Amino acid sequence: GAVVSQHPSWVICKSGTSVKIECRSLDFQATTMFWYRQFPKQSLMLMATSNEGSKATYEQGVEKDKFLINHASLTLSTLTVTSAHPEDSSFYICSASPTSSGGYEQYFGPGTRLTVT
């Protein structure tokens, strides 16, 4: 149980285009999901907290108009990187927190590698 999927697992796009990444909790409901970013040989940094039915909360320095987050259901959150640039190339990882856990448990997706050319 407690499986989180991400799609796609990797994507290559051209500079200026937009890319959507999906994060799904497969066997549980998640009121809250988190989006992290990891640059090569670095640690994970929280980008935003996604709450079902409300606006996402972004960390300082993360542009909300560039990284659009939609959490329209209890099992799906999407991250759209708009007008992607090479510096957005990174490994994006989501995690989902079961509603039943009150936010105290998190399960991570396998990550999406984004390469912007």
Partner 1 sequence: SQQGEEDPQALSIQEGENATMNCSYKTSINNLQWYRQNSGRGLVHLILIRSNEREKHSGRLRVTLDTSKKSSSLLITASRAADTASYFCATDRVTGRRALTFGSGTRLQVQP
Cα–Cα distance list, 80 to 10, 38, 69, 103 (Å): 14, 16, 6, 24
Find the binding residues for partner 1 in span 21-80 (CB under 8 A): 32, 34, 36, 41-46, 49, 57
| Residue 106 in the binding site for partner 1 (CB under 8 A) | yes
Peptide bond into 86 cis (omega under 30): no
- Judged by DSSP in three states, 111 sits in coil
Residue 20 vs 113, nearer CB to partner 1: 113
| Residue 16 in the binding site for partner 1 (CB under 8 A) | no
Per the CB < 8 A criterion, the answer to whether 36 and 93 are in contact is: yes
Residue 93 vs 116, nearer CB to partner 1: 93
Binding site for partner 1 (CB under 8 A): 32, 34, 36, 41-46, 49, 57, 91, 93, 95, 97, 103-104, 106, 108-111, 113
